[in-house]
Amino acid sequence: MSHQPPADQPRTFHVKSFGCQMNVYDGERMAELMAAQGLTATQDAAAADLVVLNTCHIREKATEKVYSDIGRLRKDAAAQGRARPMIAVAGCVAQAEGAEIVARAKVDVVVGPQAYHNLPDLVARAAAGVPALDTDMPTASKFGQLPARRRVGPSAFLTVQEGCDKFCTYCVVPYTRGAEISRPFEAIVDEAKALVDAGAREITLLGQNVNAWTDEGRGLHDLIRAIDRINGIARIRYTTSHPNDMTQGLIDAHRDVETLMPFLHLPVQAGSDRVLRAMNRSHTRDSYLRLIDRIRTARPDIALSGDFIVGFPGETEADFAETLSLVDTVAHAQAFSFKYSPRPGTPAATMADQVPAAVMDDRLQRLQAALNRDQHAFNAASIGRRCTVLIERKGKLPGQMLGKSPWLQSVHLLTDAAIGDLVEVEVTSAGPNSLGAVERLRQVA
């Protein structure tokens, strides 16, 4: 139930999310939660009474960003002659550094990814002058305690699984997000229906290991098939997947389920078995490539995406050459690549043979050149193709709209279609990051 906040409480808020799509989802849910308390959302962080920084801990740079952001917020407020905004640090830095943030940056609220349903209470306590911290990982799920979904855009996120049990040796996620937990089947289908009722045409199912989702023997493919049956749903996607949880049922769904889009983000990280073993990835180069073959047999036009790390401790030039040759073999439609960043508390951070920064820079550049080449080639091969585009927003030019192809490419076209419409187009041009198209047919609902 919504009510007016007392005078000493913040009245306006701004949520800023960093990191992965699960953080974006959490940010939306926190915004809905604060709105249900009677606070008003504002686009302008500097003008908000309460700023929620929903942080990411994955690499050192991401983590440092939270401290520079806090400094900037306070400076901007001071420059405007305002009292400092109340600052709440949420997300994975909150979980990992907890009390340290309160001590170092004097923030008002720290709330972990599994505790943010308590945000209104924590804000109330902070408003009373007591810094409030909650980084518990309760056994009862936060999801049941969040308000219902009301208004969303044509493409919506839905978290179905959280946490990770894989413990790759470089990664903080198992520590910041906790063990793998799947939300119940019924709760997810209900939320999917609510999202469609609220305007979503496309739903992206999210999880740190989304394809590990399970409930009473059901797998992610069963969930996809159930969401496929919801009236009004046009597209389903899911991310991020681990190669070891890619079941035959899920591969078959890519062949059978028309609303399941031909796109798969399936990180491999590296191409050398020696490095994969040191990373504790529990798949090999060969098992990964065989998996890709099976997926492509089921769905020949599938666009593959991935993540790569260069400069993992001990990575030699020969190891890196195997990553490049894997990239050549797979030909990704798009991919993310990162320099290895040592994270406190992870096994890799104290491994011998840390790779010098200059070597990492060089390898990243060469890897990105190869990935960009493949992305451009994938886009160029789309010219002449007919496909649907889900219109998501206005473009810069008059009459121009932007949307996504089934293969998650950005597409711009001139059309009088509205946001949320599905338009059939023919692709007429391709750049490194987007496609141009002309409209062929409008699909109504």
Dihedral angle over CA of 394, 398, 399, 405, nearest 10: -50
Q: How far apart are CA 124 and CA 5, in angstroms?
A: 9
Q: What are phi and psi of 28, to 5 degrees?
A: -65, -40
Q: Which of 168, 239, 255 is nearest to 205 (CA)?
A: 239
Site string for ligand SAH, 340-359 (x = CB under 6 A): xx-x----------------
> 114 or 208: whose CB is closer to ligand SF4?
208
Q: Please identify which residue in the block is written with the tokens 């924590």.
A: 122
Beta bridge partners of 205: 158, 238
Report in angstroms how near the CB of residue 333 gets to ligand SAH at its nearest. 16
> 265 or 299: whose CB is closer to ligand SF4?
265
Q: Which of 232, 250, 351, 341 is nearest to 298 (CA)?
A: 250
Site string for ligand SAH, 277-316 (x = CB under 6 A): ------------------------------x-x-------
Report in angstroms how near the CB of residue 54 gets to ligand F3S at its nearest. 8
- Residue 167's binding partner out of ligand SF4, ligand F3S, ligand SAH, none, with CB under 5 to 8 Å set by partner kind: ligand SF4
> 62 or 90: whose CB is closer to ligand SAH?
62
Region of 77-85, 124-132, 168-176, 215-223 interacting with ligand SF4 (CB under 6 A): 168-176
265: CB partners within 8 A, 6+ apart: 239, 240, 241, 305, 306, 307
Report in angstroms how near the CB of residue 20 gets to ligand SF4 at its nearest. 9
20 is in an annotated binding site: yes
Report in angstroms how near the CB of residue 319 gets to ligand SF4 at its nearest. 18
Site string for ligand F3S, 23-42 (x = CB under 6 A): x-------------------
Q: Taking CB under 6 A as the rule, does residue 52 contact ligand SF4?
A: no
21: CB partners within 8 A, 6+ apart: 157, 204, 206, 239
Interface with ligand F3S in residues 56-85 (CB under 6 A):
56-58
- Chain center to CA of 228: 22
387 is in an annotated binding site: no
DSSP-H helix ranges across 37-140 = 60-79, 91-105, 119-127
Q: Which of 104, 97, 18 is nearest to 67 (CA)?
A: 104
Q: How far apart are CA 130 and CA 128, in angstroms?
A: 6
Region of 137-145, 182-190, 336-344, 401-409 interacting with ligand SAH (CB under 6 A): 336-344
Q: Which of 59, 117, 299, 332 binds ligand SAH (CB under 6 A)?
A: 59
168 is in an annotated binding site: yes
Q: Which residues bind ligand SAH (CB under 6 A)?
A: 58-59, 170-171, 173, 208-209, 240, 242, 267, 269, 307, 309, 338, 340-341, 343
